[in-house]
Amino acid sequence: MASLTPISKTQFLFNKPHLKSSSPCLETFFQSSLVSKRLSFQFKVPISDRMPLKAATVVSATTAEKPKKRYPGEAKGFVEEMRFVAMKLHTREQAKEGEKEVKEKEEEAVRKWEPTIDGYLKFLVDSKLVYDTLEGIVEKAVFPFYAEFRNTGLERSEKLAKDLEWFKEQGYTIPEPSSPGVTYSQILQELSEKDPQAFICHFYNIYFAHSAGGRMIGRKVAEQLLEKKELEFYKWDGDLSQLLQNVRDKLNKVAESWTREEKNHCLEETEKSFKHSGEILRLIL
């Protein structure tokens, strides 16, 4: 399961990496915060910015053949940077690379995992609203590059419509969307019009989280509540790993034209993505 609560701001790391090495107070802040030491270390200022000119020249000469990558995952492309930040926000229980501590009672409830059909229906309805919104945004393409992300094969809206129809046929009443889905959908709409880098962070996290942890959840719910029926939500037309790779390639290409500040701004948005997706996931319980 994901970190289902917001965690402390990692913003310093992205905006002001130099503060890490210059202020003892901030050192304490980083160590006491939920941000992992490994993550804060990785975002330290590049050596060349801290060294006297002479030393810096030596560094750049030795690194000329093999340029040093300053951000975790950077060498593989921007998606790997987004993935790195996202994986740290999982708990260890959720994923091997997770580093978020499980502290609060609510998270313990999530760990115990007692899903109900009513809760699951709420989750599916709110998820559909979020996917409707994402898929509408790329269709409209207020920023022309959004059009790259049409018809990727990862779309979930129609699949969810089929699943909800199936539940209806089984005699269940389909609820109206609830606050977590409505709020997230509004946020996505606004970001997509004003802040494309932040929007892309949500786009990545929503589709990729569903293909990983989302599927695990689907399997568990199917076992416990649906006599192992596999919902359409968890089926893709074509080879999922290839579909994901195609989207990774497009995201990497888009981010190539972003400045470092724009990339950092995108990475900073990851926490918000976990917060809102976490609120929707929690509807299952």
- Which chain residues interact with ligand HEM by CB under 6 A? 1-2, 83, 86, 90, 94-96, 205, 208-209, 211-213, 216-217, 244, 273-274, 277-278, 281
Residues 6+ apart with CB under 8 A from 41: none
Minimum CB separation of residue 63 from ligand HEM in Å reads 29
Which residue in this structure is represented by tokens 């999530």?
110
Minimum CB separation of residue 186 from ligand HEM in Å reads 17
CA-closest candidate to residue 235, choices 122, 134, 178, 155? 155
Residue with the closest Cβ to ligand HEM? 213
Coil, strand or helix at 166: helix
Coil, strand or helix at 259: coil
Residue closer to ligand HEM (CB basis): 13 or 95: 95
Minimum CB separation of residue 23 from ligand HEM in Å reads 31
Residue closer to ligand HEM (CB basis): 87 or 125: 87
Residue closer to ligand HEM (CB basis): 20 or 277: 277
List the structure tokens of 56: 């810096």
User: Would you say 133 and 156 are in contact if contact means Cβ atoms under 8 Å apart?
Assistant: no
Residue closer to ligand HEM (CB basis): 20 or 206: 206
Burial environment of residue 24 by CB neighbours within 10 A (0 to 12, 13 to 18, 19 or more): exposed
Residue closer to ligand HEM (CB basis): 83 or 128: 83
Coil, strand or helix at 91: strand
Which residue in this structure is represented by tokens 């981010």?
255
Burial environment of residue 82 by CB neighbours within 10 A (0 to 12, 13 to 18, 19 or more): buried
Minimum CB separation of residue 83 from ligand HEM in Å reads 5
How many other C-beta atoms lie within 10 A of the C-beta of residue 22? 11
Q: How many CA atoms lie within 13 A of 9 on its CB side?
A: 7
Minimum CB separation of residue 80 from ligand HEM in Å reads 9
CA-closest candidate to residue 148, choices 205, 201, 210, 200? 200
Minimum CB separation of residue 136 from ligand HEM in Å reads 19
Residue closer to ligand HEM (CB basis): 58 or 216: 216
List the structure tokens of 156: 């979930």
Minimum CB separation of residue 47 from ligand HEM in Å reads 29
Residue closer to ligand HEM (CB basis): 20 or 128: 128
